[in-house]
């Protein structure tokens, strides 16, 4: 399946709606522990697909591998910060460290040469 068919605006909107419904219709205190990761997975998938679509639209010359690495790095940042915040472990130093690592990975992705794509 081509990448252009995988990330359509309708699927992205569907993911955001699923996330909104999940957050509004569930009580985290009553859920089994395994289901507590669902909103983070939905958020990551929605942001990943959004960023990939935007990169494909505005930077069409970028390879698929670099697109995926950049989108994964950018979408992982808010998810990781929300996870740290949800367990009351987020400090400004943690946020700065995660942001620095994300910027470093984006810089690496822009300079690296990946074979295959």
Q: What's the pLDDT tens digit per position in 51-103?
A: 999 999 999 998 888 888 889 989 998 998 898 888 888 889 988 988 898 88
pLDDT at 18: 96
**pLDDT for 7:** 74
Q: 9-25 vs 38-58: helix axis angle to the nearest 10?
A: 160
Looking at residue 40, its pLDDT comes to 95
Domain ranges of the chain: 3-111
The pLDDT of residue 116 is 55
- pLDDT score of 4 more than 60: no
What pLDDT is attached to residue 88? 85
pLDDT bin (cut points 50, 70, 90) of residue 114 is low
Cα–Cα distance between 4 and 99 in angstroms, integer? 29
Residue 117 predicted with pLDDT over 60: no
Which backbone phi and psi does 24 adopt, to 5 degrees? -90, -20
> Which tops the pLDDT comparison, 2 or 75?
75
């Amino acid at each position: 399946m081509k990448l252009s068919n995988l990330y359509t605006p309708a699927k992205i909107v569907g993911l955001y709606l699923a996330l909104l419904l999940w957050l509004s219709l569930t009580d985290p205190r009553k859920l089994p522990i395994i289901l507590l990761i669902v909103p983070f997975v939905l958020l990551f998938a929605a942001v990943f697909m959004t960023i990939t679509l935007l990169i494909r639209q505005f930077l069409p010359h970028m390879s698929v591998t670099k697109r995926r690495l950049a989108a994964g790095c950018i979408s992982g940042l808010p998810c990781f910060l929300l996870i740290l915040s949800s367990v009351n472990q987020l400090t400004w130093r943690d946020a700065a460290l995660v942001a620095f690592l994300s910027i470093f990975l984006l810089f690496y992705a822009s300079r690296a040469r990946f074979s295959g794509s």
